[in-house]
Amino acid sequence: MCGIVGHIGSMNSIQVVLQGLSKLEYRGYDSAGVSYIDHSGNLFNQKKEGKLVNLEKLLGKDLPQTNICIGHTRWATHGEVNDVNSHPHSFGSISLVHNGIIENANEIKKELREKGYEFKSQTDTESFLGLMIINMKEGLSFSDAVRASFKRVKGHSAFVVLCKETKEIIAVKRGAPLVCGMHETDSNVMVSSDPYALVGLVDKLYFPEDEVFCTLSGAQTNLITFAEFDGTPSKRYLSTKQNLSADASEKGDFEHFMLKEIHEQPGLIRALTQYYIGGDGEASLEDVSSIKPERLILSACGTAAYAAYCARDIIENENRIPCVVELGSEFRYRDPILSKGDVALFISQSGETADTLASQGLCKQKGIKTVSIVNVMGSTLYRDCDHNLLIRAGVEIGVASTKAFTQQVLTSKLLSFTLKGHLKNAQERKALIDRFDLLASRIESLLQNQDVIKKIAEEIYNYKGYFYTGRGTYYPIALEGALKLKEIAYVHAEGYAAGELKHGPIALIDENMVNIAIIGPELHEKVLSNAEEIKSRKGIIVALADVNDEEAKGMCRYHVPLKFDGLGDLSPIYVNVANQLLAYYMAKFKGTDIDKPRNLAKSVTVE
């Protein structure tokens, strides 16, 4: 959840690290800091509570000259948000940054206190620093001290440690994201918690496996080396070319990344079709066609879990394969009954969500085949699953997931299509390509007419609470709509199956409550009756209904005109885009920080 960047090389390292941190600020933004060694060999540590801009102010306009630096943006887990608890943590010749949780920090702290180490912060991270200091005091070299300290800590973490004496950075992780990078022609080497921070700076990426020690040094040869616990060279890493485009980090003409990402959806849908069934990426679909699940277990968190519900509906309806959805955070702690014929499907944008990874680990341990639908190639989920389907959404920067949801559901549809055996059927392929294209066009018209949604948002953004309702395949869309609104507009919103309202929550309906009612073709009459029940209790209704739905128009105060015909099982994705816009504009009227909503981090790498 925290962002980590380290650099050694010919460029000014502070500048490179700040640039990288600015790209990672979407992961966590409670504080930021850097540690660097200046040209006279002195180690400096500067950190500041709040967003990166506060650190930039502290550093001033004339940045210190350095060729070795590590930096961090924090999403607080242990200890309040303040300067002292900010990373890097530094003592003597060592500075370090950390992402994750040290589960046995209290036990280590007790032991270190007995050995005379005085803690300055309330963080779990400082226990690692204490171990480093005591280990080096007891005679271990820098690299041996990192190994010995890492051996002691429990839990999922990544550490990046800088040493003033050796002028090296050592990075290591267990169950947390970490990537190293190198520019093949100039002598710049980097490390980060996210490949996105390295875009435009390195051309080769290395994804180390757990417990591989990556040493970055300024030496002319062997700029990055990989070693096992016993110090022997390691080959346990995946190397790929860096192929993310630098444009992804720009907002262009859009006020927020979220709005930009909503607008990217039609193009991404067409590109996904082209990749998987119009040419290039077919191989990946052929790879998954060998999977013959007797039952599919889908597991994910947050928005990705709602995408999993949509995937369940699509796959179950099309293939009649029983599907169950399990929330990652719950599944990992259950003792689920799994059988041989089960296949587990994990959906994730980042591929680094701790609970999703733990669920995948559980299935793997029980001998169940695992498949991912994931955005980040080379992520932990991608590396750990037996089969992978990339959603090809590009970098998603807005903390509120939008385009990833659309691509996750569409990739599930492609999986469903493949399981059905349609991959080689030209007619079926053409029909699906046309339907994806129709979806892209419908989203385009929704975007062209978004002022209707903006006006409604302006009218309703100040009410007491919001119920999103839907039935059948629109139920997960109601859940996702409410989540989107909560996370960026900071208002209470709840997603509900429309037929369930009368079993309790209808007690909340009065003239201060808004109901965003998805009135699609499915169970149409029933959903209208549910809306009628709300209207009778003076609730304000916004109908997401067809342009020709006279009944919905007559009954509801507001109407977002949609066009459902021809979309079939893709229509929930279309309705969801209307909800994305509604949440976006309501948040804008509320004046919240849309791309970096409070308390949230883009990638939830702690449980």
The footprint of ligand M6R (CB under 6 A) covers: 301-304, 348-350, 353, 356, 399-401, 487, 600, 603-604
- How many CA atoms are closer than 13 Å to the CA of 553, on its beta-carbon side? 8
Which residues, at least 6 apart from 95, have a Cβ–Cβ distance to it below 8 Å? 35, 43, 45, 70, 88, 89, 161, 162
Catalytic status, residue 420: no
Which of 109, 369, 484, 602 is flagged as catalytic? 602
In the complex with ligand M6R, which residue's Cβ is closer, 40 or 599?
Answer: 599
Rounded distance between C-alpha atoms, residue 443 and residue 392, angstroms? 18
- CB of 117 vs ligand M6R, minimal distance in Å: 35
In the complex with ligand M6R, which residue's Cβ is closer, 356 or 515?
Answer: 356
Dig out the tokens for 472 from the structure: 């059948």
Nearest to 479 by CA among 313, 593, 336, 603: 313
Rounded distance between C-alpha atoms, residue 154 and residue 127, angstroms? 11
- CB of 351 vs ligand M6R, minimal distance in Å: 7
Which of 2, 69, 163, 363 is flagged as catalytic? 2
In the complex with ligand M6R, which residue's Cβ is closer, 77 or 85?
Answer: 77
In the complex with ligand M6R, which residue's Cβ is closer, 167 or 590?
Answer: 590
- Shortest Cβ contact with ligand M6R: which residue? 302
Dig out the tokens for 229 from the structure: 């616990």
- CB of 184 vs ligand M6R, minimal distance in Å: 30
In the complex with ligand M6R, which residue's Cβ is closer, 90 or 349?
Answer: 349
- CB of 230 vs ligand M6R, minimal distance in Å: 34
Give the start-end residues of each E strand in 50-167.
66-74, 89-91, 94-100, 157-163
- CB of 480 vs ligand M6R, minimal distance in Å: 8
In the complex with ligand M6R, which residue's Cβ is closer, 96 or 399?
Answer: 399
Q: What is the DSSP letter of 233?
A: B
Which string of DSSP letters, residue by residue, matches 509-576?
A: -STTEEEEEEE-STTHHHHHHHHHHHHHTT-EEEEEEETT-HHHHHH-SEEEEE--TT-GGGHHHHHH
Catalytic status, residue 2: yes
24, 198 Cβ separation under 8 angstroms: no
- CB of 374 vs ligand M6R, minimal distance in Å: 8
Question: Can you name the residues that pair with 208 across neighbouring β-strands?
Answer: 237
Dig out the tokens for 490 from the structure: 């900071």
Question: Which amino acids are annotated catalytic?
Answer: 2, 602
